[in-house]
Chain A
Amino acid sequence: MSDPIPGIAAPAHLRQGSSIGQPLTRRDGPLKVTGQARYAADNHPPGMLFAVLATSGIARGRVLGLDVAAAKAHPGVVEVMTPANRPPLAGDPDAKDSPFMFRLDALQNDAVRYPQQPIAVVIAETLEAATEGAALLAPRYAAEPPRVGLDGAAAFVPAAVGVGSPASFAQGEVEAGLAAAPRRMEAVYETPAQYHNAMEPHAIVAAWDGERLTLDTPSQGMAMAQARFAALFGIRPEDIHIRSPFLGGGFGSKGLANGPQVLGILAARLVGRPVKLVLRREQMYGPVGHRAPTRQTIRMGADAAGGFTAIASHTLTATSSFDDFIEAAADVAHTLYATPALHTSHEAVRLDTGTPMFMRAPGEAPGSIALESAVDEMAFACGMDPLAFRLRNYAEVEPASGKPFSSKALRECYAEGAARFGWAGRPLQPRQMRDEAGLLVGWGMGTATFPAMMMAGHARATLRADGSGLVETGAHDMGQGAWTALAQVAADGMGLPLDRLEFRSGTSDLPDAGIAGGSAHMATVSSAIHGAGGAVIDRLAALATGDERSPLFGAGNAGVVAREGRLHRRDDEARSESYAAILSRAGLAGLEAMGQGAADPAAQKAFAMHAHGAVFVEVKVDPDFGQIRATRVVGAFAAGRVINPRMVRSQYYGGMTWGVSFALHEHAVTDRRSGRIMNADLAEYHLPVNADVPSLEAILVAEQDPHVNPLGIKGVGEIAITGTAGAVANAVWHATGVRVRRFPIGLEALIGA
């Protein structure tokens, strides 16, 4: 067994419970290690057929013809769905009425707007027949020249970036600040297109029963998907039952309804039988989102003491020809470093790709690797240690808004991370360290940051006659540990031991838990759950304290605490009564209450809310070959209250691994003539393997935040990719003396270094 996780203060007890803060093992672990956890594609309802997408071989143009006859002639093929015979939709898949709605490709016409766009669906008795049927369609196209790369189309200033943020921001006199600075830097950083590549391919098993629809499909936002499908198919949302108990990874790509899901539902309608549609890996490089490339121009000025005089950051990025998602990379500068003058701006080009989408730390991840590289360059220009430079420019208030932080234990992160890593004594000059084998060694650091957001979510708590509890919420576990941590919050909220609490989640017939995104799911749903539990306990306390037969009579509602299935008097713990006894005397079969999690507008107006961290990285680089290995990564993160330190640590490990990958490994390689992605697989689109991350360490820095939400929770799912990616890049520079500004860092940049 692992040791208890150090650095975690015992949770400050609220009114109830003690589950919060315990490093419980994953409650869904036994199902997952035995193969019993049922993912979408594991379902096989009676009479089910297999559907396989045919996807486009060109990036832009029209489909002129498909050899439907050849596909249909293949033994086992039941039907071929094309724009010609696709069942009608009640809603327009090209409609868009919010930043959370993306235009979908659902065979609405013969247009091709990106490679791997679905152009037909083959439905067959077997997977083999459907797959071959799709191959036999042999499409003929009228192709147009595709627009490829950040120089492939005219740039425009988008109306908004990210989810509704302004495209530019300015305060102070940036040009004057730069002009007056004795130390200046200007550099251009490029980040590539990346694909989420969750291990679980997108999948749907769709079954119609009249106008009712049952879907097994991984979803980070079941209620939103329900609403979108309902509008597209002209049925009521409550007639759509989505089951998504386990997602095999999401990272944003399963956040919103996608075209292949709609096609799976359409296929089931067309053939009148349940249908399973699973994307092939290469088909995940088109219709289900990606992180757009960026080209970031950063200019900085500093005074003689190393204090910023100005920061300017401009991002050029890309979106699709037909929809908008603009990677808000420059905006990461809004929160990190104090500066009297700050200017951020964005432009974009329209390319013949699938529409980019939220991908783990959207905006922050590419923004962070560029900004942290630039800060490192500025620190060196000032002759300062990178940590000392960051402390010199520590933001006591949020730079862009001037608001105080609701909490910010970043100094502690710097201190604990640096101490653990052994940062002191790092040579200022690069290329100073070698290991015993002669490999170049470098140390780099970066600051991690991610906003502490709140979405809207709901939960229901029920106290049963036997004193046990039931908590229900349609939450989503894509690996972050929701099944475990939310159950801990639920037990805490109801003042019950975990084994007296039933926790139901992962289906759309439960209260809407919002979306698992923006690192806000834990905070949002925990608030809802804890609120629901608290409301039940409130009513229970009212029953007991108002009943003169109870030993709690007269204590007043605030005068009792709930613990282990009993209410106790605060002023005399020995006087208590079990939940079951209170219900029984009141003649009640149970108590039920709803809870809601949502942002507090007053707190949001008053405070800037972010999680923070500091990441320290050692890399080794072969001096002749430029091959790089991140040999040691230490991250210290402060993210408010920690519900389950074991799960949180794993989330940090995951983010840190993504940071290593961002700096050194993953990128889509696009042919500049055809627009096709030449490494649309897992052999050449390199994700880190086990041997790429030999040493990770995450320090959970204590932080109490009274403002973000009632439980003081900040999200942990995305922050660790930030900071880490830049720290790796900075370590490579420190090892080699070569500043690579195009990511991932390729070995050719270091050969001859």
Chain B
Amino acid sequence: MNRFEFLRPTTIAEAVAAGARPGAAYHAAGTNLLDLMKGGVMRPGTLVDVGRLPGLDRIEHAADGGVRIGALVRNADLAHDPGFAARFPAVAEALLSGASAQLRNAATVGGNLLQRTRCGYFYDLASACNKRTPGAGCDARGGENRLHAVLGWSEACIATHPSDFCVPLAALDAVVEIIGRDGAREVPLADFHRLPGEAPERETVLAPGDLVVAVRLPAEAAGFAAHARYLKVRERTSYAFAVVSAAAALRLEDGRIAAARIALGGVALKPWRARAAEAALVGRAPAEAACREAAALALADAAPSGDNAFKIELARRIVARALLLAAAGTPGRLPALPASPFAALPGAQAHV
């Protein structure tokens, strides 16, 4: 890890001024940043510790059913907040399916949004990576890429975004609150992360100094609470990143789908919202055929970026299952193995 200056600003304004300096990086819990610094992937000259900025660690439930989550709220605290889990169960399930209890106790909401890809070539300094060194090339292309992107990738970068949390956030129209040098602004989470295109080093819409201060879920998002799930296929039962995951949320009226929300994880460099699939579901009964058709739509633009064609079919199946699980109803308590196929008992757990 390189030497750095460690700053502890006491106000957001101070933090933003410091964070705008060249070579500065914000530090909250450090669960991703320190990992990247230990690997030499990031070498910031200044760490601006925002972990103790006042007022950013609150979960504020609005009277209308929406919620505002401070950027410093810990993943575990959010998932276990009873009011939050009741209104946004798919988000809680996604949070609890991520990483380990230790990491969830430390990792923050803001940091989760900003975590960087797990692509092995990004981490391996001896390999070429456009994200790490713009213009260097992408060794993942043509390399060991069975877990890489099938949507939204470019020749410059085929990495995926690793977050679980962001997937239901994207589905549920979350909004990111940002304070920068020019003041405060808001960006829909679905637009917060950038696809790689020709500039995979630019991962989000944030400008230098921009600080994520909160994430908001609108009141409408709570309207899906009765039918919302997150489903995550992994290569071991726990403590693993998604091969593919999906969040599905339905609002049912008279046995038909009045509104649907779908997003995928592990398929692209951002959480992938599937709006066409959502639209196709409206007005239909939440049965297998409709779910499968929606899943096919969600993956309509998918293409393998390497040895990963299987992820496309896998993603279709996960979307379909997630929709069926959502239709069956949110369980009264999150399963023992959150988001796992071994917990989300199709059929058996309907209407728990």
Contacts and interface: CB of A to CB of B under 8 A. Distances in A.
30 contacts: A75-B3, A131-B1, A135-B2, A436-B345, A437-B347, A438-B346, A438-B348, A439-B341, A439-B342, A622-B233, A624-B318, A624-B321, A625-B341, A627-B342, A629-B237, A629-B342, A669-B120, A670-B144, A671-B127, A673-B143, A674-B127, A676-B124, A676-B126, A678-B121, A678-B127, A683-B118, A684-B118, A686-B240, A692-B238, A751-B313
A673 B140 CA distance: 11
B120 A751 contact: no
Which 10 pairs of residues, A with B, have the shortest CB-CB distance? A57-B126, A437-B345, A678-B120, A748-B310, A691-B237, A622-B341, A624-B317, A691-B238, A437-B348, A625-B233
A725 to B, nearest CB: 16
Contacts of A115: 126
Q: How large is the interface on A (under 10, 10 to 19, 20 to 34, 35 or more residues)?
A: 35 or more
B146 interface: yes
A676 B342 CA distance: 34
A228 B235 CA distance: 41
B234 interface: yes
Given A624-B317, A625-B317, A691-B337, A747 B243 contact: yes
A692 B237 contact: yes
A620 B343 CA distance: 12
A676 B346 contact: no
B279 interface: no
Q: How large is the interface on B (under 10, 10 to 19, 20 to 34, 35 or more residues)?
A: 35 or more
A262 interface: no
A81 B321 CA distance: 57
Contacts of B345: 436-438
A691 B340 CA distance: 11
Contacts of A664: 236
Nearest to A141: B126
A132 B2 contact: yes
A626 B3 CA distance: 46
Contacts of B142: 673
A25 interface: no
Q: Pick the most buried of A438, A625, A664, A684: most chain B CB atoms within 10 A of its CB.
A: A625
A128 interface: yes
Interface in B1-24: 1-3
Contacts of A679: 120
B139 interface: yes
B328 to A, nearest CB: 12
Interface string A400-444: 000000000000000000000000000000000000111100000
Interface in B314-349: 314, 317-318, 320-321, 337, 340-342, 345-349
Given A135-B40, A624-B317, A671-B143, A665 B341 contact: no
B343 to A, nearest CB: 9
Interface string A531-547: 00000000000000000
A678 B342 CA distance: 29
A131 B34 CA distance: 14
A505 to B, nearest CB: 34
Contacts of A135: 2, 40
A234 interface: no
B236 A665 contact: yes
A752 interface: yes
Contacts of A559: none
Given A128-B1, A683-B118, A751 B310 contact: yes
Nearest to A670: B144
Contacts of A61: none
A167 interface: no
A552 interface: no
A302 B40 CA distance: 58
A574 interface: no
Interface string A653-675: 00000000000110001111110
Contacts of A748: 146, 310, 314
A438 B126 contact: no
Contacts of A747: 233, 235, 243, 310, 314
A1 interface: no
A132 B39 CA distance: 10
A57 B40 CA distance: 13
Interface of A: 57-58, 74-75, 115, 128, 131-132, 135, 436-439, 620, 622, 624-627, 629, 664-665, 669-674, 676, 678-679, 683-684, 686, 688-692, 746-748, 751-752
Q: Pick the most buried of A75, A627, A629, A690: most chain B CB atoms within 10 A of its CB.
A: A627
Contacts of A131: 1, 38
B125 interface: yes
Nearest to A59: B126
Contacts of A690: 238
Contacts of B310: 747-748, 751
B103 to A, nearest CB: 11
Nearest to A679: B120
Q: Pick the most buried of B1, B314, B342, B349: most chain A CB atoms within 10 A of its CB.
A: B342
Contacts of A75: 3
A670 B139 CA distance: 13
Given A674-B139, A748-B146, A686 B313 contact: no
Contact of A625 (B2, B118, B318): B318
Contacts of B120: 669, 678-679, 684
Contacts of B126: 57-58, 115, 674, 676
A438 B342 CA distance: 10
Contacts of B40: 135
A692 B144 CA distance: 25
B1 A437 contact: no
A288 to B, nearest CB: 19
A329 to B, nearest CB: 24
A692 B314 CA distance: 21
A678 B140 CA distance: 10
A622 B310 CA distance: 15
Q: Pick the most buried of A624, A626, A673: most chain B CB atoms within 10 A of its CB.
A: A624
Given A131-B1, A676-B124, A683-B241, 7 more contacts: A57-B125, A135-B40, A438-B345, A625-B233, A627-B233, A674-B139, A688-B236
Contacts of B340: 627
A261 B286 CA distance: 63
Q: Pick the most buried of B3, B126, B146, B238: most chain A CB atoms within 10 A of its CB.
A: B126
Nearest to A55: B126
Contacts of B243: 747
A665 B125 CA distance: 26
Contacts of A678: 120-121, 124, 127, 143-144
B146 A689 contact: no
Nearest to B311: A748
Contacts of B237: 629, 689, 691-692
B72 to A, nearest CB: 25
Q: Pick the most buried of B118, B310, B313: most chain A CB atoms within 10 A of its CB.
A: B310
Given A622-B341, A676-B126, A748-B310, A665 B317 contact: no
Contacts of A751: 310, 313-314, 317
Contacts of A671: 127, 139, 143-144
B345 to A, nearest CB: 3
B33 to A, nearest CB: 16
B233 to A, nearest CB: 5
A243 B282 CA distance: 70
B337 to A, nearest CB: 7
Nearest to B123: A681
Contacts of B236: 664-665, 686, 688-689, 691-692
B177 to A, nearest CB: 31
A57 B320 CA distance: 43
B149 to A, nearest CB: 16
Nearest to A128: B1
A570 B231 CA distance: 70
A76 to B, nearest CB: 10
Contact of B238 (A128, A673, A689): A689
Nearest to A115: B126
A572 to B, nearest CB: 62
